[in-house]
Amino acid sequence: MIERSLRLLALFVGAALWLCAGPNAHAQAAQQGRIPVKLVAGRLVARCDVSTEVRRIPVNLFVEYDNPCGLELHNRAADPLKTELPDGSQRTITIHFQGGEMFVPGRELGDEDELEAFTKWYSTELGDNAVVGTIGAAVLANYHLVFDLGAGAIEYGPPLARSAEHVVAPSGGASVPVSIKNEMVWLPVLLDDGVPRTMALGTSRYDTIVDEDFCELRGHPAGDIGSARIGDCDLSDYVALRPAPVPFTHRDGALGVLGSGLLQKLRVEVDRANRWVTITPVAEPELPVADRAFFEALVSEDSEQVLAYLDAYPESRCAAEAADLLLDQLVAEGFEDEQLDDALTWIDRTCQPDLRATAALERMKELLGLGLTAAAVRAGELGVEGGRDDRYPDAVHQLHAQLGTILLDAGESREAWKHLLSAAFGLPEDGMVNLQLGRFYEQEGRYRRAFSRYVQAVIQPESSPRAMEGLVRLQAVMNPDEALSIDLIERLIAGKVEGFGAATKYEFTPETDTNRVVLIEHLTNAHEEFANGGALALEGVLDHFERDNVAVISFHMSTPQPDPLHNAAARRADLLHDAQESVFVVNGRARVPGRARTRQKEEVYGALRSAVIAELRRPSDYELQVDAHVKDGVVSGEVVVEGPEAAGIKLELWLVERGVLFPGKSKVVIHRMVVRDALLDSVRGETLAIGADGKMTRSFSRSLADVRSANEAYLLQRQAEKSELIELVSTAIDPGQVSVVAVLRRSFTGEVMQARYVEAPREDAE
């Protein structure tokens, strides 16, 4: 398909592409206006609207003058704006501020995870709108700017005319020439040694950073390198310089980057056209004692020093970071219980009041991973105390769920029950909460309640296997005359899981009323994301067509990860059909994608139905008769093929379980028509051999227990060979769910010549 390649020098392509995009590429016309900004958790955020000719939406955007990007926009914001046209070109995006606009010819894609996490943690401070992107230097480079963060704004206007005259430096300020590199403005800085260096003007972080390697070389790893003057303005009078990596270079030495914390105290006017910056102090110098102490504690790698900092400055800006650092250090080095308790208390104390439960939940899981169960309980209890005020109401319920589980395992049943009930109040469908409540009620002998909880739990992937065990136990106690079957479970969970039934039964036309039995092979996986849409569509097809006309067999593939319904038969089907993801193969000829979201089930159903109807129009030269039954745990019977002898055709005979309970990540709870094994000697089938009587007859007999053993052995072997972890659940075959499907297939093409489905009735009282 690819016809040729071209080689072009970066001068031609690169200059136009990635490497040297100039500021003019990012804005069409420089207007003027005011960008209202505020600092949220040290990040500079602008509240504005963004629009295209399609739509206008209110948003928050980071403002990062030291980020050489243009306008980065999250896909979720770009989508309603329809920023991209079908031919790949982009619509012009307008950023609307107070009294002005900026025009950007297109958006870029930034770090979406960072945007989402920030919005989650600071939703209250941000107001109604999420942070969906970043305005970078490549956009702002087109304007004359005044950073007046103390007044909560950045003023912007068209570039000034070229001029040789410059503003006189304000008292205690600066009026200095600057250089431009990588779209950023670099200011000359003099340290005590008199060697000229440069710092970039930045707004992407609160702290003003100074190169950590430089600090270490100077013997001041904490960043206390003395005065750092821009003109008459000594930065060290206003902020403590924070040692950090400086990811830039500059011919005069990239010493660091100014932060937004400093810009709250200085008014900075950037006359980019004349390469000039004027700095005016707007706040009295104030020695940043607390910050300095924190940076010293930070580089000390000494938990005692961090603790001393917290004791001295418990309300400081860096207290929360220090508390987290304290836990870092204790975990890294090992600790006494008392020290850990201190760290957890500090973390809780320095957390935002309305995020205590949310933070505690993360901490609790982390502590459990560290093997610190008692500490996890302590963190959870601290979180519960703040649960009522938490901005995420679910957090406290999840804390109760975790606490209840820990306490139940520890034998503190009554206390556990209280937590679990609180959890269930907010998370009624949570599998693990219902499972643990089931365990509690079962321990208490309250079987009816326990049964109800287990039913709730059995449909969730995380709790299903243990809930199933509970149901089996309780069924034996509560109703010993009726074994737990898939039919019973299906009745119990009816309405709790999504289903899909066809509105009508298929009505034959003269063209489709043939002897053809169409075979649908469903290749799927219980852990495949979006396999649910296909599985629901299959339920619709099973409902719409009779089994006399449509036979269905389902193979569970090994990707994305093997589930316990995978077996040697499925591996053979995978090799035959080369399925990369869930798919339906109709008569070995047509393929219908089976990977679809739940809401797309009707589309898949429609496509599958059409493919089946097309195949029904093709009469077959063959007839298949199958007789099967189950007795004493053995499925046996006979298959008869009638039709012309022909080379290259094979007879396959599949043992199928009509419904298997195994909730996986796909959210499919009951898997339909699962192939458990071949009933002939090989999964490849047996070569067609029509006898003198015009028939081929084969009998079969297979113990269901043997099939289970063979499948488990296959999974264990695979687990050992590939270091995979496969849980051996749902491998037992319910004798009441057994069916047999016979298939005649052309080996070379995979085309199905004829199929037949029969149920195998039980002929015993087992």
Partner 1 sequence: MLYLSFCLVCTSIATGTPESAPPTVDAAVAGPTPEAVAGRYKVYRNWEFTLPQERWTPVGEGLAFEGFGSGSFRAALDGTALLLDTDGDGETDLRIAAEDTKDGKTPLVVFHDADSDLRRAVRVGDRGGWHYAPAGAVTASWHGTTVKVIDQNGDGRFDGIGEDALVVGRGESACYLSEAINVAGDLFRLEVAADGSELRFSPYDGEVGVLDVHGGYKTEAKLGRVVVRDTKGRYSFDLGKATEGLRVPAADYRLEDAVVVLGKGSVEVQRGKLPAMHVAKDARYELDWGGPLEATFDYARVDGQLRFDPLAVWYTGRGGERYTGWNPRGSSPKFVVKDKQTGDVLVDAVFPGSC
- Quote the crossing angle between the two packed helices 532-544 and 601-616, to the nearest 10°: 40
- 366 scored as a contact of partner 1 (CB under 8 A): yes
Chain mean position to CA 387: 26
- Would you give the binding string for partner 1 spanning residues 292-331, x where CB under 8 A is met? -----------------------------------xx--x
- Residue of the chain from 397, 466, 572, 671 that contacts partner 1 (CB under 8 A): 466
- 119 scored as a contact of partner 1 (CB under 8 A): no
- Residue of the chain from 422, 463, 582, 636 that contacts partner 1 (CB under 8 A): 463
- 456 scored as a contact of partner 1 (CB under 8 A): no
Minimum CB separation from partner 1 for residue 253, in Å? Answer: 11
- 4 scored as a contact of partner 1 (CB under 8 A): yes
Kindly report the three-state secondary structure assignment for every residue of 686-738: EECCCCCCCEEEEEEEEEHHHHHHHHHHHHHHHHHHHCCCCCCCCCCCCHHHE
DSSP symbols for 203-261: -SSSSPEEEHHHHHHTT-TTS----EEETTEEGGGT-PPEEE------TT-EEEE--HH
- 2 scored as a contact of partner 1 (CB under 8 A): yes
- 665 scored as a contact of partner 1 (CB under 8 A): yes
What residue type is assigned to position 526 of the chain? A
- 219 scored as a contact of partner 1 (CB under 8 A): no
Minimum CB separation from partner 1 for residue 277, in Å? Answer: 19
Q: Is 300 exposed, middle or buried (0-12, 13-18, 19+ CB in 10 A)?
A: middle
- 212 scored as a contact of partner 1 (CB under 8 A): yes
Contact positions with partner 1 (CB under 8 A) in 557-586: 559-562
Nearer to partner 1, 559 or 709 (CB): 559
Cis before 68? omega within 30 = no
- 18 scored as a contact of partner 1 (CB under 8 A): yes
- 249 scored as a contact of partner 1 (CB under 8 A): yes
Contact positions with partner 1 (CB under 8 A) in 394-453: 431-432
Nearer to partner 1, 202 or 386 (CB): 202
Minimum CB separation from partner 1 for residue 65, in Å? Answer: 10
Stretch that binds partner 1, among 287-295, 340-348, 555-563, 609-617 (CB under 8 A): 555-563
Greatest Cα-to-Cα distance within the chain, rounded to the nearest angstrom: 113
Nearer to partner 1, 669 or 688 (CB): 669
Contact positions with partner 1 (CB under 8 A) in 122-141: 138
Chain mean position to CA 86: 27
- 181 scored as a contact of partner 1 (CB under 8 A): yes
How far is it, in rounded angstroms, from Cα 37 to Cα 350? 25
Stretch that binds partner 1, among 282-290, 454-462, 591-599, 618-626 (CB under 8 A): 454-462
Nearer to partner 1, 82 or 388 (CB): 82
- Contact criterion met (CB below 8 Å) for 66 and 86: no
- Would you give the binding string for partner 1 spanning residues 507-536, x where CB under 8 A is met? --------------------x---------
Contact positions with partner 1 (CB under 8 A) in 581-640: none
Nearer to partner 1, 183 or 348 (CB): 183
- Residue of the chain from 179, 345, 485, 719 that contacts partner 1 (CB under 8 A): 719
Q: Which residues pair with 759 in a beta bridge?
A: 739
- 41 scored as a contact of partner 1 (CB under 8 A): no
Nearer to partner 1, 155 or 183 (CB): 183
- The residue behind tokens 């319920």 is 397
How far is it, in rounded angstroms, from Cα 95 to Cα 89? 19
- Residue of the chain from 38, 220, 365, 589 that contacts partner 1 (CB under 8 A): 365
Tally the C-alpha atoms within 13 A of residue 29's C-alpha that lie toward its C-beta.
5
- 462 scored as a contact of partner 1 (CB under 8 A): yes
- 198 scored as a contact of partner 1 (CB under 8 A): no
- 663 scored as a contact of partner 1 (CB under 8 A): yes
Contact positions with partner 1 (CB under 8 A) in 99-118: 106-111, 113
Backbone angles phi, psi at 648, to 5 degrees: 75, 20
Contact positions with partner 1 (CB under 8 A) in 723-752: 723-727
- Contact criterion met (CB below 8 Å) for 272 and 250: no
Nearest to 294 by CA among 302, 284, 286: 302
- Contact criterion met (CB below 8 Å) for 201 and 259: no
Minimum CB separation from partner 1 for residue 76, in Å? Answer: 11
Nearer to partner 1, 27 or 616 (CB): 27
CA distances from 8 to 16, 25, 67 (A): 12, 21, 29
- 464 scored as a contact of partner 1 (CB under 8 A): yes
Contact positions with partner 1 (CB under 8 A) in 278-297: none
Contact positions with partner 1 (CB under 8 A) in 136-175: 138
Tally the C-alpha atoms within 13 A of residue 315's C-alpha that lie toward its C-beta.
0
Residue 516, token pair as written in the block:
């053809």
Cα torsion for 545, 546, 550, 555, to the nearest 10°? 90
Burial readout 677-687 (b: 16 or more C-beta within 10 A, e: otherwise): bbbbeebebbe
Minimum CB separation from partner 1 for residue 716, in Å? Answer: 10
β-strand pairing of 131-136 with 56-64: parallel
How far is it, in rounded angstroms, from Cα 456 to Cα 460? 8
Minimum CB separation from partner 1 for residue 662, in Å? Answer: 9
- 470 scored as a contact of partner 1 (CB under 8 A): no
- 8 scored as a contact of partner 1 (CB under 8 A): yes
How far is it, in rounded angstroms, from Cα 310 to Cα 296? 13
Nearer to partner 1, 334 or 480 (CB): 334
Nearer to partner 1, 106 or 157 (CB): 106
Stretch that binds partner 1, among 146-154, 270-278, 302-310, 659-667 (CB under 8 A): 659-667
- Would you give the binding string for partner 1 spanning residues 63-102, x where CB under 8 A is met? -x-xxxxx-xx-x--x----xx--xxxx------------
β-strand pairing of 179-181 with 184-191: antiparallel
